[in-house]
């Protein structure tokens, strides 16, 4: 596959990016190297290789849900630097 200016421009538009001519030339070269690498992988004989479905040997590993004792709301708020009866107070970070 050949990477040309039209393809780079189309990808830039899809990604909502703007590039100058020098950046487009660099991106075109990078994309061409990536595609060449992937095409090189197609030369490998994978007829005896099973598809990789999971990265580990574990399959559907779930733990059983168990109800365990927990702390109360009041106990959780005891060490809070600032709190009300119901929640932690934190500094406001969103300004209008």
What confidence tens digit (pLDDT) does each residue in 23-47 have? 999 999 999 999 999 999 888 898 8
Q: Evaluate whether residue 59 is within a structural domain.
A: no
Name the domain count of the chain. 1
Q: Evaluate whether residue 24 is within a structural domain.
A: yes
Burial class (CB in 10 A: 0-12, 13-18, 19+), 12: middle
Domain harbouring 30, CATH code: 1.10.20
Q: Evaluate whether residue 23 is within a structural domain.
A: yes
Q: Evaluate whether residue 94 is within a structural domain.
A: no
Query: In which band, very low, low, confident or very high, does the pLDDT at 20 lie, cut at 50, 70 and 90?
Result: very high
What confidence tens digit (pLDDT) does each residue in 47-85 have? 898 888 777 777 777 888 888 989 888 888 888 888 888
> Do 5 and 28 touch, CB atoms closer than 8 A?
yes
The whole domain housing 15 covers: 5-41
Question: Distance of CA 31 to CAs 2, 43, 48, 78, Å?
Answer: 9, 19, 30, 56
Q: Evaluate whether residue 75 is within a structural domain.
A: no
């Amino acid at each position: 596959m050949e990477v040309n200016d039209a393809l780079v421009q189309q990808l830039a538009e899809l990604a909502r990016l703007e590039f100058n001519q020098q950046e487009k030339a660099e991106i075109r070269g990078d994309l061409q190297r990536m595609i060449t690498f992937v095409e090189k992988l197609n030369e490998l004989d994978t007829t005896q290789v099973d598809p990789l479905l999971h990265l580990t040997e574990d399959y559907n590993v779930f733990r059983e849900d168990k109800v365990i004792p927990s702390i109360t709301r009041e106990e959780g708020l005891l060490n809070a630097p600032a709190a009300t009866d119901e929640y932690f107070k934190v500094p406001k970070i969103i300004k209008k």
